[in-house]
Amino acid sequence: MTGARSAQHEGPVKMKLGIFGGTFDPIHNAHLFVAESARLLEGLDRVLFVPASNQHYRDKPEASAAHRCAMILGAIANNRAFELDDTDLRPDASGYTADLLPKLQAKHPDARFTFIIGADSLVNSNWVRFDEVLEALERFVIAPRPGVRADALERVLAALPKHLRDRVDTLNLPEIPNSATLVRALLSQGRSVRYLVPEPVWQYLCSQHLYGLANGVAH
């Protein structure tokens, strides 16, 4: 009986939801590796892939939102813990993470959020209302990226109050050199990116001739 009473007082266990934002222009294998690693390391129930349409701190995507969503859906189809969320593609989206998170909280009121990001995106972007972002999260985890030094990360985080800094951690992962920039560059040079991207994404790139993919490479 004692155990039953304790369970009643504890209340329902909240879902742990990972938020993986970015342009995904296009999604590639390193994205999937980071998402799955974060899911396991952080004990997440699901990971939402949240493509952005208007990120103020990065170049605008080359592929349309429809193409990027189609590639994400193909890439994540065989992982039941992965899901596409188009909240940041809607007309009322500001492109700021601080505005995105309350909308996701309204959709998932019983979830606790962990934001997943690459170290390069954190260091090289001008984050607006970063303290608001961290206040809305349980965890903010960073995937190591080649060329991003630990001291550069520390400079970004140094101004945060301790209770917010404690929510930030670096994932214990190797640095993966693959990037969407590399994928686009290779395609623009008429070269193949097969095996740098999931096979459904490669097939979609071929069928739609995205990023300057030439007919000779596609076949």
Residue 10 near residue 159 (C-beta atoms within 8 A): no
Q: How far apart are CA 146 and CA 166, in angstroms?
A: 24
Supply the pLDDT for residue 152: 86
Q: What is the pLDDT of residue 107?
A: 97
126 neighbors 138 (Cβ within 8 angstroms): no
Adjacent-strand bridge partners of 18: 47, 114
- Give the per-residue pLDDT at 3: 46
Contact 198, 32 (CB under 8 A): yes
CATH number at 14-177: 3.40.50.620
- Consecutive 10-residue runs of the chain (219 residues): their mean pLDDT? 46 87 95 98 98 73 96 98 97 93 97 96 86 97 90 88 95 92 93 96 95 70
CA distance 80 to 57: 31
Euclidean distance between CA atoms 150 and 140, whole angstroms = 16
